[in-house]
Structure 1
Amino acid sequence: MQAAAALNHPREMPQDIRWMNAAAAALAAALVVLLVAAGLIKWSRQAYFDIRRISVEGDLQRNNLATVRANVLPHLKGGFFTIDLARARDTFEALPWVRHAVVRRIWPNELRVTLEEHRPAAYWHHADREDELVNTYGEVFDANIGDVEDEPLPTLAAPANPTPDEARVMLDMLHRLQPLVQPLQGDIDTLQLTDRGSWSVELDNDANLELGRGNAEELQARIERFVRTLPVLHRQYPAPLVYADLRYPEGYAVRLRGVSTSQETKGSKPPVAPKKP
Structure 2
Amino acid sequence: MWNNVRQLNLAANALYALALAALVASGGIWLAQRPSFALSAILIGGDTDHINTPTVRASVIGHLKGNFFTVDLDAARQAFEQMPWVRRASVRRVWPNALAVTLEEYKPLGTWGSDQLVSADGELFTANQGELDNELPAFDGPPGTAKEVVARYFEFKQWLAPIGATPEEVTLSPRYAWTVKLSNGTEIEYGRERNASTLEERSRRLTAAWKAVTARWGNDIEYADLRYPNGFAIRAAGMRFIGDASSAAQPKK
TM-score grouping bracket, smaller chain normalisation: 0.7 to 0.9
Offset from partner CA, 1:118-173 (integer Å, 9 cap, x none) = 22111111xxxx5211123211111123223x6221111212xx12xx21221111
Using the alignment, how far apart are the partners of 2:122 and 2:204 within structure 1? 25
Offset from partner CA, 1:182-222 (integer Å, 9 cap, x none) = 34343322111012211111123331111122266431232
CA contact (8 A) 1:98 1:118 kept: yes
Of 225, 231, 238, which residue of structure 2 is paired with 1:251? 231
Q: 2:212 maps to which residue?
A: 232
Which aligned segments of 4 or more residues in structure 1 are displaced greater than 6 angstroms? 16-21
Aligned ranges 1:8-47 → 2 under 5 Å: 25-26=13-14, 28-47=16-35
Aligned ranges 1:165-184 → 2 under 5 Å: 166-184=145-163
C-alpha spacing 1:70/1:194, structure 2 compared with 1 (3 Å): closer
TM-score, normalised via structure 2 length: 0.84
Aligned ranges 1:39-118 → 2 under 5 Å: 39-65=27-53, 67-69=55-57, 71-118=59-106
Q: 1:202 maps to which residue?
A: 181
TM-score, normalised via structure 1 length: 0.78
Identity of aligned residues (%): 39
What is the count of residue pairs matched by the alignment? Answer: 249
Using the alignment, how far apart are the partners of 1:76 and 1:197 within structure 2? 45
Q: 1:154 maps to which residue?
A: 137
Q: Aligned-pair RMSD on alpha carbons?
A: 3.0
CA contact (8 A) 1:239 1:257 kept: no
Rg (Cα) greater in structure: 1
Q: 1:9 maps to which residue?
A: none
Structure 2: which 5+ residue stretches go unaligned? none
C-alpha spacing 1:19/1:212, structure 2 compared with 1 (3 Å): farther
The amino acid across from 2:224 in the alignment is: A
Of 124, 128, 145, which residue of structure 2 is paired with 1:140? 124
SS in 2 for 1:115: strand
SS in 2 for 1:35: helix
Q: 2:191 maps to which residue?
A: 212
Using the alignment, how far apart are the partners of 2:60 and 2:213 within structure 1? 61
CA contact (8 A) 1:56 1:65 kept: no
Using the alignment, how far apart are the partners of 2:196 and 2:214 within structure 1? 27
Using the alignment, how far apart are the partners of 1:122 and 1:26 within structure 2? 67
Using the alignment, how far apart are the partners of 2:32 and 2:7 within structure 1? 37
Q: 1:8 maps to which residue?
A: none
- Measure how far apart 1:88 and its partner are: 0.8
Using the alignment, how far apart are the partners of 2:209 and 2:198 within structure 1? 17
- Measure how far apart 1:103 and its partner are: 0.7
Using the alignment, how far apart are the partners of 2:138 and 2:68 within structure 1? 45
CA contact (8 A) 2:157 2:166 kept: yes
Q: 1:119 maps to which residue?
A: 107
